[in-house]
Amino acid sequence: MRICIIAEGCYPYVVGGVSGWVHSMIQTFPKQEFILLTIIANRELSGKFAYNLPENVTEVHELYLEDADWGSVNKRHKTRLKKEEYHALRSLILNHEVEWDAMFDYFRDNNVSINNLLMGEDFYHAVLDCYNLQYPDIVFSDFLWTMRSMYLPLFLAMSMEVPKADVYHAVATGYAGILGSMGKHFHNGQLIVSEHGIYTREREEELIKAEWVQRLYKKIWIQQFKKMSQVAYDKADVVTSLYQHAKELQIELGCPKEKTRITPNGIDYRRLEKLPGISPENAGYVHVGAILRVTPIKDVKTMIQAFAYAKKRCSRLKLWIMGPFDEDPEYAAECFKMVETMEIPDIEFTGRIQITEYLGWMDMTILTSISEGQPLTILESFAAHVPVIATDVGNCKGLLYGEDDDFGHAGILTHIMNIEEIATAMVHMAENPEVRKQMGDIGYRRLMRKYKIEDMKKTYEGIYREAAQRQNLVWEDKEQDESFTDR
């Protein structure tokens, strides 16, 4: 079976939880052919992979959302759209029963110049209708240019020639969902949408905090992402989420309930057995490990400030921030400067690591994110019998406190950006080694109950088998040792 994985802003260009999941999925099914359809910002990132692609990846196709309209002078573009084409464009802009299939066909059949379309009469009149009906109190010229900037990446996506596949597996809605919907429309492939975080909600949170978007235009951008997610939900054959509350959010956002399935993450716990112990030079400390990308969404600054307070109350604490800091160099530099300015001792930035070299001698791990799905770093900590401090985002509460078991607490949950709570949690863990051991053992029991890679493989093998049957294909598979690439 030929499976097209569609990923936005992650695999194989950056390391992280979603990227690790994609890499593992491909390795888990070695007899299937995978092709990658990747969505990245621009051509400067082209081919700069952070992963060695598995042998069963046969093609990589790239979409650049900040691209130019290359070769537009050679593209045929009618002066005006046909009546049915204009109706489809207007339905998209006004969000009135959007005629997505007609829009997909228009971009495929007309070799469209996006520049000419955005600057043309038809787009202008459709935007003017939207303005008069919904936003008559703002400056029209600002509204028009906002709409042009909003629709440019969407039109770039719809202009792409989607490769032929039996199954399109989009690792989000948004632009990935658009491409997956196009694959189903043009090639009759099955469409699976797997959300690790709820794309619409994540974009909404980002826009609410964004300073570059005026308040009214935030609403317009949020509506754009909602309509893009809706087409993916409507076209999909199966929509997966990692935990119950995420499934409920999908249904609330318009996904038909009968399409939804819960598919928890799974890890290869075996590679986290028999880890090396602590080196003599690091003995005597209580070690706190933060396995993450140094980016704003991980809120490393709050972690640093909380550690500074905790360190004053428990001098034996040492913080290890383990992960790459090249994804957002400006933010990483601000974190380094904060440590230097505040003169906080015993904080180590390791950069990208092999977690197997560190996790075995961590006394606890910590995650202070403002947004998460179902963090693999928590499951990896559990595999090493290490308790976790985490903010109450995504499925962190379910992992730490349990959803359908009575094992107890495998760590401490805190509120986001609450420096005092996070610092107190570190001190409590540091001063109570028996509590740490008990929580670490509970985490291991919870992991072994339903978060092993064998569990995840069984779930997705069932989904892929069903897709193969609907396509009248023969599913073949073989057992193989699976592993995650270290983040």
pLDDT (tens digit per residue) in 89-106 = 999 999 889 999 999 999
Contact criterion met (CB below 8 Å) for 235 and 181: yes
pLDDT above 60 for 265: yes
Please name the helix (run of DSSP H) or strand (run of DSSP E) that holds residue 333, with its range, or none. helix 329-342
Q: What pLDDT is stored for residue 347 in this prediction? A: 97
Whether the CB-CB separation of 23 and 484 falls below 8 Å is answered with yes
- pLDDT tens profile 350-369: 999 999 999 999 999 999 99
- The mean pLDDT value for 39-43 works out to 93
- Starting at the earlier edge strand, list the strands of the sheet with 33-40: 57-64, 33-40, 2-8, 167-170, 190-194, 238-241, 260-262
Confidence of residue 74 (pLDDT cuts 50, 70, 90): low
What percent of the chain clears pLDDT 90, i.e. is strictly above it?
Answer: 82
pLDDT of residue 482 exceeding 50, the answer is no
**Per-residue pLDDT for 321 more than 90?**
yes
Please say whether the beta carbons of 383 and 405 come within 8 A: no
pLDDT digits (tens, 9 = 90+) for 212-255: 777 778 889 999 999 999 999 999 999 999 999 999 999 999 99
pLDDT value at position 36? 98
- Asked whether residue 163 carries a pLDDT value surpassing 50, the answer given is yes
Candidates 369, 35, 7; CA nearest to 174 is 7
Quick check: 210 pLDDT over 90?
A: no
Given a cut of 50, is residue 402 above it in pLDDT?
yes
Instruction: Please provide the DSSP assignment of 455-469 as one string.
Output: HHHHHHHHHHHHHHH
> How far apart (Å, rounded) are the C-alpha atoms in residues 262 and 451?
12
Of the pLDDT bands very low, low, confident and very high (cuts 50, 70, 90), residue 409 is very high
Confidence at 486, pLDDT banded by 50, 70, 90: very low
Predicted confidence band of residue 473 (pLDDT cuts 50, 70, 90): confident
**Can you tell me the mean pLDDT for 249-272?**
95
Average pLDDT over residues 387-407: 96
**Could you give the C-alpha distances from 457 to 440, 447, 481, in angstroms and in order?**
25, 15, 11
Give residue 80's pLDDT: 83
Check: CB of residue 424 under 8 Å from CB of residue 476.
no
CA angle 199, 37, 146 (to 5 degrees): 50
**Whole-prediction pTM:** 0.89
Give the chain's mean pLDDT. 92
Concatenating the DSSP letter of every residue in 180-231 gives: HHHHHHHH--EEEEE-SS-HHHHHHHHHHH-SSS-HHHHHHHHHHHHHHHHH
Which of 177-191, 386-400, 437-451, 470-484 bottoms out in mean pLDDT, i.e. has the lowest? Answer: 470-484
SS3 label, residue 321: strand
Q: Give the integer Cα–Cα distance in Å for 192 and 189.
A: 10
